[in-house]
């Protein structure tokens, strides 16, 4: 190839469209105003009232689940189930056999995002959280429980991403009233459920910075912390007291019990940063390093190699971000187009029946 792929794409795009003329400007004064017909004027208020009633019942009520007790879950020693989130559906699958145990029915009046949204599994391997869009297009998080056979129960919305003005109270430099912020609601960039599944954390992103949001699922109480970093990953410490986060260039900790937070630690962008960091509870992360000769590594918060978990020749060229389970002990990763698992405590690796069937196959797992 005579040019780098990036340059080639830019040049191809530029040259393909260089002769495209400017469009004719519409006549703004005679343009159709889109005024609804008389009949629509009658129907609209009725629909609006209905929408408000439904919204209060479905979103408002679930978003503030005050007074709803949430029972702490019991962790399992080894996760066996995973939630597979794809563009078309969400399924519960058996990791070892690859068998689909059930397809998740989305909460009413919600849809899947155009690309798979973040998800998180609790340590009991029976409680899962996933992201969907509400009827108004806001990121909301729903929860399901699965039975002993892995069959999913009814999903319900538990929280929704905070609004930009709320995020603006904690993100330095985010002026929520400016025209730089296109959306009135943050997008859910990552979610992480606490080890006992009583609290849920979310990275709510805006173009100017992110908020790390923490909900008590029993009371609905919410707290926000802001950062100007592009937070891509979030996880809990093993004791459930603190949150670890990582962007491409920095990593940090949020301690909900502390009044002042420790400043984030910068780290250089390394080879293991082609996919968002797969954080472990101690702040280190698992990443693929290398091209065809690939190594699966544990890297320190500063990006230094800590431990090699495996090395192989990557014939498939297909990779997906490693997935750490709720305990932080087991990791799913791609090796030559197939998902394998590794127990970080014993370094024991085992194959699974989960396959990355196609290079276009956009899905990931939460377990």
DSSP secondary structure letter of residue 46: H
- Name the CA radius of gyration of the chain, rounded: 23
Q: How many helices (H) and strands (E) does the chain have?
A: 4, 25
Query: Taking CB under 8 A as the rule, which mask of x and - marks residues 195-214 in contact with another protein?
Result: ----------xxxx------
Q: What angle do CA 180, 182, 184 make, to 5 degrees?
A: 115
What is the bridge-based pairing of β-strands 250-254 and 139-145? unpaired
Instruction: Please list every residue from 86 through 105 that binds another protein, using CB under 8 A.
Output: none
Asked whether the beta carbons of 367 and 82 are under 8 A apart, the reply is yes
Q: Applying CB under 8 A, which part among 9-17, 46-54, 71-79, 262-270 lies near another protein?
A: 9-17
Nearer to another protein, 73 or 331 (CB): 331
Q: Of 75, 113, 153, 310, which lies in the binding site for another protein, with binding defined by CB under 8 A?
A: 113
Q: Applying CB under 8 A, which part among 44-52, 75-83, 258-266, 359-367 lies near another protein?
A: 359-367
| Residues near 250 by beta carbon (within 8 Å), at least 6 away in sequence | 229, 264, 265, 266, 267
Q: 242-258: b or e for each residue (b if 16 or more CB lie within 10 Å)?
A: bbbbbbbebbbbbeeee
Q: Of 70, 92, 193, 232, which lies in the binding site for another protein, with binding defined by CB under 8 A?
A: 232
| Phi, psi angles (nearest 5°) of residue 47 | -65, -40
Residue with structure tokens 């002026």? Answer: 175
Query: Taking CB under 8 A as the rule, which mask of x and - marks residues 19-58 in contact with another protein?
Result: xxxxxxxx-xx-xxxx------------------------
**313 contacts another protein (rule: CB under 8 A):** no
Instruction: Please list every residue from 116 through 155 that binds another protein, using CB under 8 A.
Output: 116-118, 131, 133, 137, 139
User: Token pair for residue 163?
Assistant: 């609004």
**180 contacts another protein (rule: CB under 8 A):** yes
Q: Applying CB under 8 A, which part among 62-70, 143-151, 173-181, 281-289 lies near another protein?
A: 173-181
Instruction: Please list every residue from 254 through 293 that binds another protein, using CB under 8 A.
Output: 274-276
Q: What is the number of residues in the chain?
A: 367
Point out which residues bind another protein (CB under 8 A): 1-3, 5-6, 8-26, 28-29, 31-34, 113-118, 131, 133, 137, 139, 164, 178-184, 187-190, 205-208, 230, 232-233, 274-276, 317-319, 321, 359-360, 362
């Amino acid at each position: 190839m005579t040019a780098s792929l990036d340059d080639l794409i830019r040049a191809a795009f530029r040259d393909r469209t260089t002769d495209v003329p400017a469009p004719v400007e519409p006549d703004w004064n005679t343009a159709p105003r889109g005024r609804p017909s008389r009949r629509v004027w009658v129907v609209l208020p009725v629909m609006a009232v209905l929408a408000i009633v439904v919204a209060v019942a479905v979103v408002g009520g679930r978003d503030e689940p005050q007074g709803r007790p949430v029972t702490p879950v019991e962790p399992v020693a080894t996760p066996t189930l995973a939630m597979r989130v794809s563009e078309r559906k969400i399924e519960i699958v058996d990791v070892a056999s690859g068998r689909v145990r059930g397809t998740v029915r989305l909460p009413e009046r919600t849809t899947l995002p155009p690309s798979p949204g973040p998800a998180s599994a609790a340590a009991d391997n029976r409680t899962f959280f996933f992201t969907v869009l509400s009827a108004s297009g806001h990121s909301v998080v729903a929860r399901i429980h699965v039975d002993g056979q892995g069959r999913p129960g009814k999903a319900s919305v538990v929280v929704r991403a905070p609004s930009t003005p709320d995020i603006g109270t904690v993100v330095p430099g985010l002026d929520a009233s400016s025209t730089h912020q296109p959306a009135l609601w943050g997008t859910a960039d990552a979610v992480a459920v606490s080890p006992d599944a009583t609290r849920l954390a979310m990275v709510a992103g805006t173009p100017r910075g992110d908020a790390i949001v923490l909900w008590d699922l029993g009371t609905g109480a919410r707290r926000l912390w802001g950062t100007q970093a592009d937070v891509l990953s979030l996880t809990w410490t093993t004791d459930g007291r603190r949150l670890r986060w990582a962007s491409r260039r920095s990593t940090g900790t949020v301690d909900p019990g502390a009044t002042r937070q420790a400043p984030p630690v910068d780290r250089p962008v390394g080879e293991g940063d082609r996919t968002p960091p797969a954080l472990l509870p101690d702040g280190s992360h698992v990443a693929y390093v290398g091209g065809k000769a690939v190594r699966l590594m544990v890297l320190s918060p500063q990006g230094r190699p800590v431990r090699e978990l495996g090395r192989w020749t990557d014939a498939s060229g297909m990779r997906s971000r490693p997935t750490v389970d709720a305990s932080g002990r087991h990791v799913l990763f791609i090796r030559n187009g197939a998902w394998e698992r590794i127990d970080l405590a014993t370094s024991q690796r085992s194959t699974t029946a989960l396959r990355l069937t196609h290079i276009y196959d956009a899905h990931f797992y939460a377990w």
